[in-house]
Chains A and B, each alone.
Chain A
Amino acid sequence: MVTSVADNDAALVARCKDGDDRQAFDDIVVRYKDRIVNYVRRMVSDRDDADDIAQEVFVRVYAGLRGFENRSALYTWLFRIATNLCIDYRRRRRRPERQHLSLDALPELTACGNSDKGRGDVTTPEQAAIHSELSLMIERAIGTLPERLRAVVLLHDVEGLPYEDVARIVGCPLGTVKSRLFHARSALRDTLGPYLRGEAPQVYDKDRSAI
């Protein structure tokens, strides 16, 4: 019988709660650290602060595990904590963070990308360059969105979470999620439109296509 991720998560949570099992908690961290780090780094462009916040997410989880009752999925709870911490962080900084991500802060762009998310086939170096360039442009454009729109795009379009989970994470009705997603995509399209229509200069020369 195939055990689902949710079942595994519930078992890990139960081990943490019942037996104060530190290894089970470590397993939770290992299972979700990459996704949380990815999300937080895209919400908070300062990489060191982002990693600090991502670690804080798991500290909050450890502190609150006894009260977690599996009414929602574990990852939904993780992303909710992460979202709240990111919003708190930006409020503390008292200025809107609508800046382009620096090239240094961007992930290393490869033709393969995140294989578990099913990137399309990229066969030629030129196709790979175009794909990488599009990724870079999208990454930058997402970085310019207001945080409420950015969170929804990251959770749904990047992380692939369903509308219902996004609604639970950001704490708003389903209709609001759909509306925010529409506005976010419209804004991204406004930013990326010239590039998509071939009217904007390319980020990289063809000579530097092997990025």
Chain B
Amino acid sequence: MNCGRARQLASLEVDEQLSAGDLVSLREHLAACSACSAFHHDVKVIRDGARALSSMPAPDDFLLGVNRKLVEARLVANPRRRAIFGPAIVARSWKLAVVAAAAAVLAMLATHTDRTAPADTAAASFMIETAASQDLTLTTASPLDDISIARLAGAVEMNNERTYPD
């Protein structure tokens, strides 16, 4: 076996892709050829190093950006336009009122922390979450507006977390 062939096999051996016969031939060559043995070692170090490279997480607003592109590409309807004449506007107004009311309750509780009861906070949170989930259920278009509604009510983080689990 020449060195060129041995190095091709060495690359396959790193991935455990060699037949038993080729594996024996390669081992014989590597035992006698320090240059190919070094190649085999280095390729394994590089492959292992590449496999362990750090992961770069996607930006926090990645999903939001995808949904925005879908609207821009007209692959999904723009919910703002639909809402003008569609029945969604009624539901949306109702939800907006609930979210605003719940946010007001939360704000009130926040200014009176000494009197905050866990049950009250949970109830207010439940109201926001219910409104958010209803919104998701009732509108099949982009959830971008769900975030707008929540932002109006100052509850963006909760809604964002619910709408876009990450």
Contacts and interface: CB of A to CB of B under 8 A. Distances in A.
A186 B47 CA distance: 11
> Which 9 residue pairs spanning A and B have beta carbons closest together?
A157-B50, A114-B55, A37-B58, A107-B54, A33-B58, A119-B52, A107-B56, A182-B11, A113-B54
Interface of B: 7-8, 11-12, 14-15, 17, 39, 42-43, 45-59, 62-63, 65-67, 69-70, 73, 75-76, 136, 140-143, 164-166
B165 A158 contact: no
Chain A contact residues: helix, strand, loop or mixed: helix
Contacts of B67: 26
B143 A22 contact: yes
Given A138-B46, A182-B8, A186-B7, A34 B58 contact: yes
Contacts of A142: 50
B18 to A, nearest CB: 11
A185 to B, nearest CB: 5
Nearest to B62: A33
B85 to A, nearest CB: 21
A185 B43 contact: yes
A178 B140 CA distance: 45
B11 A185 contact: yes
Interface residues of A, number: 53
Nearest to A105: B56
Nearest to A22: B140
A34 B53 CA distance: 13
Interface string A172-206: 00000010011001101100110010000000000
A85 interface: no
Given A55-B65, A62-B75, A117-B51, 16 more contacts: A22-B143, A26-B67, A59-B75, A107-B56, A113-B55, A114-B53, A135-B52, A138-B53, A163-B15, A178-B11, A178-B12, A178-B17, A185-B14, A185-B43, A185-B47, A193-B42
Contact of B42 (A59, A62, A139, A192): A192
B66 A58 contact: yes
Given A107-B53, A182-B11, A185-B11, A56 B58 contact: no
A59 B66 contact: yes
B46 A188 contact: yes
Nearest to B72: A59
Contacts of B69: 55-56, 59
